[in-house]
Amino acid sequence: MRKLTVFNHVSLDGYFTDADGEMSFARRMPNEDAEWDAFTAGNASGGGALVFGRVTYEMMASFWPTPMAMQSMPEVAAGMNRMQKVVFSRTLAEATWQNTRLVKGDLAAETRKLKNESGPDMVIFGSGTIVAQLAQHGLIDGYQIIVNPVVLGRGRTLFEGGAKALKLRLSSSRAFRNGNVLLGYAPADA
């Protein structure tokens, strides 16, 4: 069975988007951390499948296939473009970013099907609405949360709209020189 994990950035005050719905705060750090750069490039070349909701998909698809992305972060851009991608949307007519599969059915049921298919493990980027819904159905196997050293003041939380409490256990942690901290969590009952 394929695993489904979440990889997201949050601000120190717990928001994964700012008040305007933007996640650009995660890229505002100084690029003076070779360990962080290697970690980021390694994630993009890891070979998994990416999972998005429509909003995050449109944001990612408008950047990663561009010459600007290839120039500014060539390894990450190549990996993002090469990886398999799944986008959940009821309104998107087509998904044109290479290697992307558009799924329009019931989120939980379709995710169960995806997890039972053969293929690489899957990672959700952004897509807080999907994260909150799938967490409530117990379909997420792990969470990798990057805490960024920035306070946004307001925005959206990652689990906004979740109806029940989730109990998680810390499975890993790693601090980077740029101030980012990676926290790994697993469901407490796993």
pLDDT at residue 189, rounded to an integer = 85
Local structure of 131: helix, strand or coil:
helix
Retrieve residue 90's tokens: 């009821």
How many structural domains compose the chain?
1
Residue 174 CA to residue 59 CA, distance in Å, equals: 28
Residue range 38-95, pLDDT digits in tens: 887 777 666 689 999 998 999 899 999 999 999 988 888 898 999 999 999 999 999 9
Confidence (pLDDT) at 44: 63
In this prediction, residue 24 carries a pLDDT of 83
Q: Which of 16, 12, 35 is nearest to 160 (CA)?
A: 16
- What string of DSSP letters covers 33-83? -HHHHHHHHHHHTS--EEEEEHHHHHHHHTTTTSHHHHHH-HHHHHHHHHS
Task: Indicate which CATH number applies to the domain containing 64.
Answer: 3.40.430.10
pTM here?
0.88
Q: Once rounded to an integer, what is the mean pLDDT over residues 111-132?
A: 92
Nearest CA to 146 out of 120, 186, 185 is that of 185
Q: Which domain holds residue 120?
A: 4-187
